[in-house]
Chain A
Amino acid sequence: MKNRLKVLRAERDWTQAQLASALEVSRQTINAIEKGKFDPSLPLAFKAARLFKLSIEDIFQDEVETEIV
Chain B
Amino acid sequence: MSKQECEKNNYQTKNNTNTVKLRNWTIAWVITMAIATFAPKFIWDFNTALTITAVLVNLAVGFKMLIANRDYLRGLDEMQRTILLEAMALALGVGLVVGLNYTMLENIQLITYKPEIPHIVFIMVITYGLAVVSGHRKYQ
Verify that A and B bind, or say they do not. yes
Write the residues of chain A forming the contact surface with B, with a CB cutoff of 8 angstroms.
12, 14, 17-22, 24-26, 28-29, 31-33, 37-38, 40-41, 44
Chain A residues with Cβ under 8 A from B78's Cβ? Answer: 25, 29, 40-41, 44
- Top 7 A-B pairs ranked by shortest CB distance? A21-B9, A25-B77, A32-B139, A24-B11, A29-B79, A21-B6, A18-B1
- Chain B's interface: helix, strand, loop or mixed, by majority? helix
Q: Could you list 6 examples of A-B contacts with CB < 8 Å?
A: A12-B1, A14-B1, A18-B6, A21-B8, A26-B11, A26-B79
Q: Return the CB mask of B123-140 against A: 1 if under 8 Å, else 0.
A: 000000000000010111
Those of B1-57 within 8 Å (CB) of chain A: 1, 5-12, 15
- Min Cβ gap A51→B in Å is 9
Cβ-defined contact, A28 with B6, below 8 A? no
Cβ-defined contact, B1 with A29, below 8 A? no
Chain B residues with Cβ under 8 A from A19's Cβ? Answer: 1
Cβ-defined contact, A20 with B79, below 8 A? no
Cβ-defined contact, B139 with A37, below 8 A? yes
